[in-house]
Structure 1
Amino acid sequence: MNGVGARRLTRDAVQIGGTVLAGLAAALLADAGGLPLPWLLAPLLTVGAMSLAGAPTAAVPFGRRVGQAVIGTAIGLYLNPGVVEEMLALLPVMMAVAGLSIAISIAIAALAAARAGFGLATAYFACMPGGVAEMAGLGRQYGADEATVAILQSLRIAVVVTVMAPAVALLAEHGRGGAAAGLPDVHWPELVVLLSAAGLLSALLERFSVPNAWMLGGLASGAATAALALPLSGMPGVLVSAGQLLVGCALGTRFKPDLMRGGARLAATGLLIMAGLLLGGIVLGLAAAALTGMAPAVLLLATAPGGITEMSITAKVVGLPVATVVAFHLVRIVTVVLASAPLYRLLMRIRPAGDRRLHRGGPDAPHR
Protein backbone atom coordinates (compact mmCIF):
# COMPACT_ATOMS: atom_id res chain seq x y z
CA MET A 1 0.00 0.00 0.00
CA ASN A 2 1.44 3.40 -0.99
CA GLY A 3 1.60 6.46 1.24
CA VAL A 4 -1.53 8.04 -0.26
CA GLY A 5 -3.56 4.89 0.32
CA ALA A 6 -2.33 4.56 3.88
CA ARG A 7 -3.24 8.18 4.65
CA ARG A 8 -6.69 7.72 3.15
CA LEU A 9 -7.24 4.55 5.17
CA THR A 10 -6.13 6.33 8.35
CA ARG A 11 -8.38 9.30 7.62
CA ASP A 12 -11.39 7.04 7.00
CA ALA A 13 -10.73 5.09 10.19
CA VAL A 14 -10.53 8.30 12.23
CA GLN A 15 -13.79 9.61 10.74
CA ILE A 16 -15.61 6.32 11.36
CA GLY A 17 -14.22 6.02 14.89
CA GLY A 18 -15.11 9.62 15.72
CA THR A 19 -18.64 9.18 14.38
CA VAL A 20 -19.27 6.00 16.36
CA LEU A 21 -17.79 7.45 19.55
CA ALA A 22 -19.96 10.56 19.25
CA GLY A 23 -23.05 8.42 18.68
CA LEU A 24 -22.13 6.11 21.56
CA ALA A 25 -21.57 9.01 23.96
CA ALA A 26 -24.91 10.54 22.98
CA ALA A 27 -26.68 7.20 23.41
CA LEU A 28 -25.20 6.61 26.86
CA LEU A 29 -26.22 10.09 28.01
CA ALA A 30 -29.71 9.71 26.60
CA ASP A 31 -30.06 6.26 28.18
CA ALA A 32 -28.92 7.60 31.56
CA GLY A 33 -31.43 10.43 31.22
CA GLY A 34 -34.29 8.03 30.52
CA LEU A 35 -35.00 9.45 27.05
CA PRO A 36 -37.05 7.31 24.62
CA LEU A 37 -35.22 5.14 22.10
CA PRO A 38 -31.77 6.39 23.21
CA TRP A 39 -29.67 3.98 21.15
CA LEU A 40 -31.31 5.02 17.87
CA LEU A 41 -32.49 8.60 18.32
CA ALA A 42 -29.50 10.05 20.16
CA PRO A 43 -26.89 8.85 17.61
CA LEU A 44 -29.14 9.89 14.71
CA LEU A 45 -29.63 13.44 16.01
CA THR A 46 -26.04 13.89 17.21
CA VAL A 47 -24.35 12.58 14.07
CA GLY A 48 -26.92 14.38 11.91
CA ALA A 49 -26.12 17.70 13.61
CA MET A 50 -22.39 17.07 13.20
CA SER A 51 -22.85 16.27 9.51
CA LEU A 52 -24.95 19.36 8.86
CA ALA A 53 -22.31 21.47 10.59
CA GLY A 54 -19.68 20.13 8.19
CA ALA A 55 -17.90 17.76 10.57
CA PRO A 56 -16.21 14.81 8.80
CA THR A 57 -18.58 11.98 9.70
CA ALA A 58 -18.60 8.50 8.18
CA ALA A 59 -20.70 5.40 8.82
CA VAL A 60 -19.22 2.00 9.63
CA PRO A 61 -18.88 0.07 6.34
CA PHE A 62 -21.85 -2.30 6.12
CA GLY A 63 -22.83 -1.08 9.59
CA ARG A 64 -26.43 -0.28 8.73
CA ARG A 65 -26.82 -3.67 7.04
CA VAL A 66 -25.43 -5.51 10.07
CA GLY A 67 -27.58 -3.45 12.43
CA GLN A 68 -30.70 -4.17 10.39
CA ALA A 69 -29.93 -7.90 10.26
CA VAL A 70 -29.49 -8.09 14.05
CA ILE A 71 -32.65 -6.09 14.72
CA GLY A 72 -34.62 -8.05 12.12
CA THR A 73 -33.53 -11.36 13.65
CA ALA A 74 -34.48 -10.19 17.15
CA ILE A 75 -37.92 -9.17 15.93
CA GLY A 76 -38.42 -12.32 13.85
CA LEU A 77 -38.11 -14.46 16.98
CA TYR A 78 -41.51 -13.09 18.08
CA LEU A 79 -43.27 -14.24 14.90
CA ASN A 80 -44.45 -17.67 16.01
CA PRO A 81 -47.35 -19.39 14.19
CA GLY A 82 -49.96 -18.01 16.58
CA VAL A 83 -48.82 -14.44 16.01
CA VAL A 84 -48.71 -14.91 12.23
CA GLU A 85 -52.29 -16.24 12.28
CA GLU A 86 -53.42 -13.15 14.15
CA MET A 87 -51.70 -10.92 11.61
CA LEU A 88 -53.35 -12.65 8.65
CA ALA A 89 -56.73 -11.74 10.12
CA LEU A 90 -55.68 -8.08 9.90
CA LEU A 91 -54.51 -8.32 6.27
CA PRO A 92 -57.53 -6.45 4.78
CA VAL A 93 -56.92 -3.55 7.18
CA MET A 94 -53.20 -3.56 6.32
CA MET A 95 -53.91 -3.44 2.59
CA ALA A 96 -56.42 -0.62 3.03
CA VAL A 97 -53.89 1.37 5.07
CA ALA A 98 -51.19 0.79 2.42
CA GLY A 99 -53.49 1.99 -0.36
CA LEU A 100 -54.61 5.06 1.55
CA SER A 101 -50.98 5.88 2.45
CA ILE A 102 -50.15 5.94 -1.25
CA ALA A 103 -53.18 8.13 -1.99
CA ILE A 104 -52.15 10.61 0.71
CA SER A 105 -48.60 10.67 -0.65
CA ILE A 106 -49.82 11.39 -4.18
CA ALA A 107 -51.99 14.26 -2.94
CA ILE A 108 -49.07 15.81 -1.02
CA ALA A 109 -46.78 15.31 -4.02
CA ALA A 110 -49.25 17.15 -6.26
CA LEU A 111 -49.31 20.08 -3.83
CA ALA A 112 -45.50 20.13 -3.61
CA ALA A 113 -45.20 20.11 -7.40
CA ALA A 114 -47.80 22.84 -7.83
CA ARG A 115 -46.89 25.16 -4.95
CA ALA A 116 -43.22 24.64 -4.13
CA GLY A 117 -41.57 24.44 -7.53
CA PHE A 118 -40.69 20.75 -7.44
CA GLY A 119 -40.91 18.82 -10.66
CA LEU A 120 -43.69 16.23 -10.63
CA ALA A 121 -41.32 13.25 -10.69
CA THR A 122 -39.19 14.66 -7.87
CA ALA A 123 -42.21 15.47 -5.70
CA TYR A 124 -43.85 12.10 -6.36
CA PHE A 125 -40.89 9.88 -5.47
CA ALA A 126 -39.85 12.11 -2.57
CA CYS A 127 -43.30 11.66 -0.97
CA MET A 128 -43.73 7.92 -1.50
CA PRO A 129 -43.28 6.08 1.86
CA GLY A 130 -40.82 3.51 0.53
CA GLY A 131 -37.12 2.93 1.09
CA VAL A 132 -34.66 5.78 0.50
CA ALA A 133 -32.54 3.90 -2.03
CA GLU A 134 -35.53 2.33 -3.79
CA MET A 135 -37.41 5.61 -4.27
CA ALA A 136 -34.29 7.56 -5.30
CA GLY A 137 -33.43 4.85 -7.84
CA LEU A 138 -36.94 4.72 -9.26
CA GLY A 139 -37.10 8.49 -9.35
CA ARG A 140 -33.91 8.63 -11.41
CA GLN A 141 -35.48 6.31 -13.98
CA TYR A 142 -38.44 8.68 -14.38
CA GLY A 143 -36.52 11.94 -14.55
CA ALA A 144 -36.56 13.01 -10.89
CA ASP A 145 -33.72 14.88 -9.20
CA GLU A 146 -32.21 11.92 -7.38
CA ALA A 147 -30.35 13.98 -4.76
CA THR A 148 -33.48 15.86 -3.71
CA VAL A 149 -35.47 12.61 -3.50
CA ALA A 150 -32.78 11.02 -1.31
CA ILE A 151 -32.57 14.07 0.97
CA LEU A 152 -36.32 14.30 1.49
CA GLN A 153 -36.70 10.54 1.97
CA SER A 154 -33.95 10.59 4.62
CA LEU A 155 -35.60 13.59 6.23
CA ARG A 156 -38.90 11.70 6.32
CA ILE A 157 -37.42 8.83 8.32
CA ALA A 158 -35.53 11.12 10.70
CA VAL A 159 -38.54 13.35 11.38
CA VAL A 160 -40.95 10.46 11.85
CA VAL A 161 -38.62 8.66 14.27
CA THR A 162 -37.91 11.85 16.21
CA VAL A 163 -41.59 12.74 16.56
CA MET A 164 -43.27 9.36 16.86
CA ALA A 165 -40.94 7.62 19.32
CA PRO A 166 -41.50 10.07 22.21
CA ALA A 167 -45.20 10.46 21.37
CA VAL A 168 -45.85 6.72 21.36
CA ALA A 169 -43.75 6.25 24.49
CA LEU A 170 -46.11 8.64 26.28
CA LEU A 171 -49.18 6.76 25.06
CA ALA A 172 -47.90 3.24 25.65
CA GLU A 173 -48.15 1.38 28.94
CA HIS A 174 -44.69 0.02 29.66
CA GLY A 175 -44.51 -3.55 30.75
CA ARG A 176 -47.75 -4.67 29.13
CA GLY A 177 -47.44 -6.82 26.03
CA GLY A 178 -43.68 -6.33 26.27
CA ALA A 179 -41.54 -7.44 23.44
CA ALA A 180 -39.28 -9.58 25.58
CA ALA A 181 -42.03 -11.77 26.98
CA GLY A 182 -41.65 -15.48 26.32
CA LEU A 183 -38.27 -15.41 24.60
CA PRO A 184 -35.62 -17.97 25.61
CA ASP A 185 -32.32 -17.26 27.28
CA VAL A 186 -29.24 -16.46 25.22
CA HIS A 187 -27.42 -19.54 23.90
CA TRP A 188 -24.36 -18.44 21.97
CA PRO A 189 -23.85 -21.47 19.65
CA GLU A 190 -27.46 -21.28 18.43
CA LEU A 191 -27.24 -17.50 18.18
CA VAL A 192 -24.10 -17.64 16.01
CA VAL A 193 -25.81 -20.08 13.64
CA LEU A 194 -28.96 -17.95 13.55
CA LEU A 195 -27.10 -14.70 12.79
CA SER A 196 -24.97 -16.45 10.15
CA ALA A 197 -28.11 -17.70 8.43
CA ALA A 198 -29.60 -14.20 8.64
CA GLY A 199 -26.50 -12.72 7.02
CA LEU A 200 -26.45 -15.24 4.18
CA LEU A 201 -30.15 -14.84 3.44
CA SER A 202 -29.89 -11.04 3.59
CA ALA A 203 -26.96 -11.01 1.16
CA LEU A 204 -28.96 -13.24 -1.22
CA LEU A 205 -31.99 -10.95 -1.04
CA GLU A 206 -29.79 -7.93 -1.68
CA ARG A 207 -28.31 -9.62 -4.74
CA PHE A 208 -31.84 -9.86 -6.14
CA SER A 209 -32.49 -6.17 -5.32
CA VAL A 210 -35.11 -6.88 -2.66
CA PRO A 211 -35.90 -3.64 -0.72
CA ASN A 212 -34.76 -3.59 2.93
CA ALA A 213 -32.94 -6.86 2.25
CA TRP A 214 -30.97 -7.00 5.49
CA MET A 215 -33.91 -6.21 7.72
CA LEU A 216 -36.11 -8.73 5.90
CA GLY A 217 -33.38 -11.41 5.82
CA GLY A 218 -32.96 -11.21 9.58
CA LEU A 219 -36.72 -11.11 10.06
CA ALA A 220 -37.24 -14.21 7.91
CA SER A 221 -34.47 -16.14 9.68
CA GLY A 222 -35.81 -15.35 13.14
CA ALA A 223 -39.40 -16.06 12.11
CA ALA A 224 -38.46 -19.40 10.50
CA THR A 225 -36.59 -20.41 13.64
CA ALA A 226 -39.62 -19.59 15.79
CA ALA A 227 -42.16 -21.15 13.41
CA LEU A 228 -40.25 -24.43 12.99
CA ALA A 229 -39.52 -24.75 16.73
CA LEU A 230 -35.78 -24.96 16.06
CA PRO A 231 -33.33 -24.59 18.97
CA LEU A 232 -33.88 -21.01 20.05
CA SER A 233 -31.69 -18.33 21.53
CA GLY A 234 -32.78 -14.95 22.72
CA MET A 235 -30.98 -11.88 21.41
CA PRO A 236 -28.68 -10.16 23.92
CA GLY A 237 -29.78 -6.63 24.69
CA VAL A 238 -26.27 -5.34 24.01
CA LEU A 239 -26.44 -6.60 20.41
CA VAL A 240 -29.82 -4.97 19.84
CA SER A 241 -28.47 -1.70 21.25
CA ALA A 242 -25.37 -1.98 19.05
CA GLY A 243 -27.59 -2.57 16.00
CA GLN A 244 -29.59 0.54 16.81
CA LEU A 245 -26.37 2.54 17.25
CA LEU A 246 -25.10 1.46 13.83
CA VAL A 247 -28.41 2.30 12.15
CA GLY A 248 -28.66 5.66 13.93
CA CYS A 249 -25.11 6.70 13.00
CA ALA A 250 -25.65 5.65 9.38
CA LEU A 251 -28.85 7.70 9.12
CA GLY A 252 -27.14 10.70 10.68
CA THR A 253 -24.31 10.74 8.13
CA ARG A 254 -26.83 11.34 5.34
CA PHE A 255 -27.46 14.91 6.47
CA LYS A 256 -24.61 16.68 4.73
CA PRO A 257 -24.15 20.46 4.39
CA ASP A 258 -25.68 20.15 0.91
CA LEU A 259 -29.06 20.05 2.65
CA MET A 260 -28.41 23.49 4.17
CA ARG A 261 -27.04 24.84 0.90
CA GLY A 262 -30.27 23.72 -0.76
CA GLY A 263 -31.84 26.83 0.69
CA ALA A 264 -34.61 27.69 3.08
CA ARG A 265 -37.24 26.86 0.49
CA LEU A 266 -36.11 23.25 0.18
CA ALA A 267 -35.98 22.83 3.96
CA ALA A 268 -39.36 24.49 4.49
CA THR A 269 -41.00 22.47 1.74
CA GLY A 270 -39.46 19.27 3.06
CA LEU A 271 -40.81 19.93 6.54
CA LEU A 272 -44.28 20.70 5.16
CA ILE A 273 -44.21 17.42 3.22
CA MET A 274 -43.17 15.56 6.37
CA ALA A 275 -45.94 17.26 8.36
CA GLY A 276 -48.50 16.20 5.77
CA LEU A 277 -47.27 12.60 5.71
CA LEU A 278 -47.19 12.48 9.52
CA LEU A 279 -50.70 13.89 9.83
CA GLY A 280 -51.96 11.41 7.25
CA GLY A 281 -50.34 8.52 9.15
CA ILE A 282 -51.88 9.69 12.43
CA VAL A 283 -55.35 9.88 10.89
CA LEU A 284 -54.95 6.39 9.41
CA GLY A 285 -53.68 5.02 12.73
CA LEU A 286 -56.56 6.45 14.74
CA ALA A 287 -59.08 5.26 12.15
CA ALA A 288 -57.59 1.75 12.16
CA ALA A 289 -57.65 1.73 15.96
CA ALA A 290 -61.32 2.68 15.97
CA LEU A 291 -62.09 0.00 13.37
CA THR A 292 -60.17 -2.84 15.01
CA GLY A 293 -60.41 -1.92 18.69
CA MET A 294 -56.62 -2.19 19.03
CA ALA A 295 -54.54 0.21 21.12
CA PRO A 296 -53.98 3.55 19.33
CA ALA A 297 -50.28 3.56 20.28
CA VAL A 298 -49.74 0.31 18.35
CA LEU A 299 -51.50 1.48 15.22
CA LEU A 300 -49.91 4.92 15.27
CA LEU A 301 -46.55 3.17 14.94
CA ALA A 302 -47.96 0.70 12.40
CA THR A 303 -49.25 3.45 10.10
CA ALA A 304 -46.47 6.01 10.63
CA PRO A 305 -44.62 6.86 7.38
CA GLY A 306 -41.25 5.84 8.84
CA GLY A 307 -38.91 2.97 8.06
CA ILE A 308 -39.72 -0.58 9.13
CA THR A 309 -36.46 -0.84 11.05
CA GLU A 310 -36.99 2.33 13.04
CA MET A 311 -40.68 1.80 13.79
CA SER A 312 -40.18 -1.83 14.85
CA ILE A 313 -37.31 -0.81 17.13
CA THR A 314 -39.63 1.74 18.73
CA ALA A 315 -42.30 -0.90 19.29
CA LYS A 316 -39.77 -3.30 20.81
CA VAL A 317 -38.26 -0.74 23.17
CA VAL A 318 -41.59 0.72 24.28
CA GLY A 319 -43.08 -2.75 24.83
CA LEU A 320 -45.77 -2.85 22.12
CA PRO A 321 -46.66 -5.83 19.89
CA VAL A 322 -43.77 -5.83 17.44
CA ALA A 323 -45.39 -8.26 15.01
CA THR A 324 -48.30 -5.92 14.34
CA VAL A 325 -46.02 -3.00 13.53
CA VAL A 326 -43.78 -5.16 11.32
CA ALA A 327 -46.71 -6.65 9.40
CA PHE A 328 -48.30 -3.26 8.61
CA HIS A 329 -44.99 -1.86 7.38
CA LEU A 330 -44.16 -4.94 5.32
CA VAL A 331 -47.49 -4.74 3.49
CA ARG A 332 -47.01 -1.01 2.89
CA ILE A 333 -43.42 -1.39 1.63
CA VAL A 334 -44.31 -4.20 -0.77
CA THR A 335 -47.32 -2.25 -2.04
CA VAL A 336 -45.31 0.95 -2.54
CA VAL A 337 -42.42 -0.76 -4.31
CA LEU A 338 -44.76 -2.67 -6.65
CA ALA A 339 -47.26 0.12 -7.30
CA SER A 340 -45.28 3.38 -7.32
CA ALA A 341 -43.88 3.12 -10.85
CA PRO A 342 -47.14 1.97 -12.54
CA LEU A 343 -49.07 4.65 -10.66
CA TYR A 344 -46.60 7.31 -11.76
CA ARG A 345 -46.97 6.26 -15.39
CA LEU A 346 -50.75 6.42 -15.00
CA LEU A 347 -50.48 9.84 -13.39
CA MET A 348 -48.37 11.09 -16.28
CA ARG A 349 -50.99 9.94 -18.75
CA ILE A 350 -53.84 11.75 -17.02
CA ARG A 351 -51.92 14.97 -16.21
CA PRO A 352 -52.10 17.93 -18.62
CA ALA A 353 -49.53 18.05 -21.39
CA GLY A 354 -47.66 20.89 -19.69
CA ASP A 355 -46.89 18.63 -16.77
CA ARG A 356 -45.99 15.63 -18.91
CA ARG A 357 -43.08 17.54 -20.44
CA LEU A 358 -41.20 16.98 -17.17
CA HIS A 359 -41.05 13.29 -17.97
CA ARG A 360 -40.02 13.75 -21.61
CA GLY A 361 -37.55 16.56 -21.03
CA GLY A 362 -35.04 14.80 -18.83
CA PRO A 363 -34.33 15.13 -15.13
CA ASP A 364 -36.14 17.72 -13.08
CA ALA A 365 -33.97 20.69 -12.28
CA PRO A 366 -32.33 20.27 -8.88
CA HIS A 367 -34.25 22.28 -6.33
CA ARG A 368 -31.61 24.67 -5.01
Structure 2
Amino acid sequence: MSRLAVRLHFPAPWLIGSMLGVAALQIGAGALIGHDLIPYWPAQANIASQVFLGATIGSKMNKQMFVGLKNTLIVAVVSSAGLIAATVLSSIAIAEVTGISVITAILAFSPGGIAEMATTAVTLHEDSTFVVAVQVVRIILVIAMLPPFFRFLHHVWAKKTS
Protein backbone atom coordinates (compact mmCIF):
# COMPACT_ATOMS: atom_id res chain seq x y z
CA MET A 1 0.00 0.00 0.00
CA SER A 2 2.85 2.38 0.79
CA ARG A 3 4.32 2.02 -2.70
CA LEU A 4 0.90 2.87 -4.15
CA ALA A 5 0.71 5.91 -1.87
CA VAL A 6 4.16 6.99 -3.16
CA ARG A 7 3.03 6.60 -6.79
CA LEU A 8 -0.13 8.61 -6.09
CA HIS A 9 1.99 11.34 -4.46
CA PHE A 10 0.19 11.13 -1.11
CA PRO A 11 1.62 13.22 1.71
CA ALA A 12 3.56 11.02 4.16
CA PRO A 13 3.05 8.02 1.83
CA TRP A 14 4.81 5.46 4.03
CA LEU A 15 2.64 6.42 6.98
CA ILE A 16 -0.63 6.65 5.05
CA GLY A 17 0.10 3.55 2.97
CA SER A 18 0.88 1.38 5.97
CA MET A 19 -2.11 2.82 7.82
CA LEU A 20 -4.45 2.01 4.91
CA GLY A 21 -2.91 -1.46 4.51
CA VAL A 22 -3.38 -2.35 8.17
CA ALA A 23 -6.88 -0.82 8.13
CA ALA A 24 -7.81 -3.00 5.13
CA LEU A 25 -6.39 -6.06 6.89
CA GLN A 26 -8.27 -5.18 10.08
CA ILE A 27 -11.58 -4.67 8.23
CA GLY A 28 -11.12 -7.77 6.07
CA ALA A 29 -10.10 -10.02 8.95
CA GLY A 30 -12.90 -8.61 11.09
CA ALA A 31 -15.44 -9.46 8.41
CA LEU A 32 -13.99 -12.96 8.01
CA ILE A 33 -13.70 -13.98 11.66
CA GLY A 34 -16.50 -11.86 13.07
CA HIS A 35 -14.49 -9.61 15.41
CA ASP A 36 -11.65 -7.12 15.30
CA LEU A 37 -8.05 -8.25 15.49
CA ILE A 38 -6.19 -6.99 18.53
CA PRO A 39 -2.86 -5.58 17.37
CA TYR A 40 0.20 -5.87 19.59
CA TRP A 41 2.57 -2.92 19.58
CA PRO A 42 5.45 -3.21 22.07
CA ALA A 43 6.24 -0.09 24.11
CA GLN A 44 9.84 -0.22 22.87
CA ALA A 45 8.63 0.15 19.28
CA ASN A 46 6.73 3.30 20.24
CA ILE A 47 9.83 4.71 21.96
CA ALA A 48 11.97 3.81 18.94
CA SER A 49 9.52 5.54 16.59
CA GLN A 50 9.73 8.70 18.72
CA VAL A 51 13.54 8.55 18.69
CA PHE A 52 13.61 8.16 14.90
CA LEU A 53 11.04 10.92 14.46
CA GLY A 54 13.04 13.27 16.69
CA ALA A 55 16.27 12.37 14.89
CA THR A 56 14.64 12.96 11.51
CA ILE A 57 13.36 16.38 12.53
CA GLY A 58 16.68 17.29 14.16
CA SER A 59 18.68 16.21 11.11
CA LYS A 60 16.79 18.68 8.94
CA MET A 61 17.80 21.65 11.11
CA ASN A 62 20.74 23.83 10.17
CA LYS A 63 21.94 27.34 10.91
CA GLN A 64 20.49 28.68 7.64
CA MET A 65 17.03 28.09 9.11
CA PHE A 66 17.74 30.74 11.73
CA VAL A 67 19.17 33.43 9.44
CA GLY A 68 16.77 36.35 9.42
CA LEU A 69 14.79 34.89 12.31
CA LYS A 70 15.27 38.08 14.31
CA ASN A 71 13.32 40.06 11.69
CA THR A 72 10.29 37.76 11.81
CA LEU A 73 10.36 36.62 15.43
CA ILE A 74 7.57 38.88 16.70
CA VAL A 75 5.24 37.99 13.82
CA ALA A 76 6.07 34.30 14.25
CA VAL A 77 5.38 34.35 18.00
CA VAL A 78 2.13 36.33 17.69
CA SER A 79 0.78 34.28 14.78
CA SER A 80 1.77 30.99 16.45
CA ALA A 81 0.13 32.05 19.73
CA GLY A 82 -3.03 33.03 17.83
CA LEU A 83 -3.08 29.73 15.95
CA ILE A 84 -2.56 27.74 19.16
CA ALA A 85 -5.31 29.71 20.93
CA ALA A 86 -7.73 29.20 18.02
CA THR A 87 -6.91 25.47 17.91
CA VAL A 88 -7.40 25.03 21.66
CA LEU A 89 -10.67 27.02 21.74
CA SER A 90 -12.05 25.18 18.70
CA SER A 91 -10.95 21.84 20.15
CA ILE A 92 -12.68 22.56 23.47
CA ALA A 93 -15.90 23.40 21.61
CA ILE A 94 -15.63 20.28 19.43
CA ALA A 95 -14.89 18.10 22.48
CA GLU A 96 -17.99 19.46 24.22
CA VAL A 97 -20.21 18.73 21.21
CA THR A 98 -18.78 15.33 20.27
CA GLY A 99 -17.71 13.87 23.60
CA ILE A 100 -14.12 13.18 22.53
CA SER A 101 -11.37 14.23 24.92
CA VAL A 102 -10.01 17.75 24.66
CA ILE A 103 -6.45 16.43 24.21
CA THR A 104 -7.55 14.19 21.33
CA ALA A 105 -9.31 17.14 19.71
CA ILE A 106 -6.28 19.40 20.12
CA LEU A 107 -3.98 16.80 18.55
CA ALA A 108 -6.46 16.12 15.76
CA PHE A 109 -6.95 19.76 14.79
CA SER A 110 -3.42 21.05 15.40
CA PRO A 111 -1.51 21.94 12.26
CA GLY A 112 1.35 19.50 12.42
CA GLY A 113 2.64 16.38 10.78
CA ILE A 114 0.52 13.24 10.80
CA ALA A 115 3.32 11.13 12.26
CA GLU A 116 4.09 13.64 15.00
CA MET A 117 0.46 14.03 16.07
CA ALA A 118 -0.20 10.27 15.89
CA THR A 119 2.90 9.46 17.95
CA THR A 120 1.93 12.07 20.53
CA ALA A 121 -1.62 10.66 20.69
CA VAL A 122 -0.29 7.13 21.27
CA THR A 123 2.14 8.39 23.91
CA LEU A 124 -0.63 10.26 25.74
CA HIS A 125 -3.04 7.28 25.42
CA GLU A 126 -5.45 9.32 23.30
CA ASP A 127 -7.49 8.21 20.27
CA SER A 128 -4.73 8.04 17.66
CA THR A 129 -7.12 6.69 15.01
CA PHE A 130 -9.29 9.80 15.23
CA VAL A 131 -6.23 12.06 15.29
CA VAL A 132 -4.79 10.45 12.14
CA ALA A 133 -8.15 10.50 10.34
CA VAL A 134 -8.62 14.23 10.97
CA GLN A 135 -4.99 15.00 10.09
CA VAL A 136 -5.30 13.07 6.80
CA VAL A 137 -8.50 14.94 5.90
CA ARG A 138 -6.79 18.25 6.77
CA ILE A 139 -3.79 17.48 4.56
CA ILE A 140 -5.98 16.34 1.68
CA LEU A 141 -7.97 19.58 1.93
CA VAL A 142 -4.78 21.65 2.01
CA ILE A 143 -3.38 19.80 -1.01
CA ALA A 144 -6.67 20.24 -2.88
CA MET A 145 -7.21 23.90 -1.95
CA LEU A 146 -3.76 25.50 -2.05
CA PRO A 147 -2.91 25.12 -5.76
CA PRO A 148 -6.09 26.92 -6.93
CA PHE A 149 -5.59 29.53 -4.20
CA PHE A 150 -2.00 30.18 -5.29
CA ARG A 151 -3.09 30.37 -8.95
CA PHE A 152 -5.68 32.95 -7.91
CA LEU A 153 -3.08 34.96 -5.97
CA HIS A 154 -0.67 34.77 -8.90
CA HIS A 155 -3.44 36.03 -11.21
CA VAL A 156 -4.27 38.92 -8.85
CA TRP A 157 -0.60 39.90 -8.42
CA ALA A 158 0.00 39.65 -12.17
CA LYS A 159 -2.90 42.07 -12.77
CA LYS A 160 -1.54 44.52 -10.19
CA THR A 161 1.95 44.57 -11.69
CA SER A 162 0.88 44.87 -15.32
TM-score when scaled to structure 2?
0.81
Whole-Å separation in 2 of the counterparts to 1:255 and 1:305: 19
Please, what is the CA RMSD of the aligned residues?
2.5
Which residue number corresponds to residue 207 of structure 1? 7
User: Does 1:266 find its partner at 2:66?
Assistant: no
Which residue number corresponds to residue 84 of structure 2? 278
Letter in 2 for 1:272: V
Which residue number corresponds to residue 229 of structure 1? 29
User: Does 1:334 find its partner at 2:121?
Assistant: no
Which residue number corresponds to residue 242 of structure 1? 48
1:349 Cα deviation after fit:
4.5
1:243 Cα deviation after fit:
1.7
Cα deviations by residue, 1:177-208 (Å, 9 ceiling, x for unpaired): xxxxxxxxxxxxxxxxxxxxxxxx22332233
Equivalent pair of 1:308/1:326 in contact (CA under 8 Å): yes
* Structure 2 residues not aligned, in runs of 5+: 31-36
Whole-Å separation in 2 of the counterparts to 1:324 and 1:228: 20
Whole-Å separation in 1 of the counterparts to 2:65 and 2:74: 11
1:351 Cα deviation after fit:
6.5
**Number of equivalent positions:** 156
Give the number of the structure whose residues are more often helix, by fraction. 2
Letter in 1 for 2:20: A
Higher RCO (Cα < 8 Å, 6 or more apart): 1
Equivalent pair of 1:302/1:329 in contact (CA under 8 Å): yes
Which residue number corresponds to residue 319 of structure 1? 125
Pair 220,351 (structure 1): closer, same or farther in 2 beyond 3 Å: same
* Structure 1 residues not aligned, in runs of 5+: 1-200, 361-368
Cα deviations by residue, 1:287-333 (Å, 9 ceiling, x for unpaired): 21233233222211111111111111111111111111111111111
Letter in 2 for 1:207: R
Letter in 2 for 1:219: M
Q: Determine what percentage of the aligned residue pairs are the same residue.
A: 27
Cα deviations by residue, 1:211-259 (Å, 9 ceiling, x for unpaired): 1101101111221221112776522222222122111111112221112
2:60 aligned counterpart, secondary structure: coil
Map of 1:1-368 to 2, 5 A cutoff?
201-229=1-29, 233-349=39-155, 353-354=159-160, 357=161
Whole-Å separation in 2 of the counterparts to 1:348 and 1:286: 37
Cα deviations by residue, 1:77-96 (Å, 9 ceiling, x for unpaired): xxxxxxxxxxxxxxxxxxxx
Pair 337,293 (structure 1): closer, same or farther in 2 beyond 3 Å: same
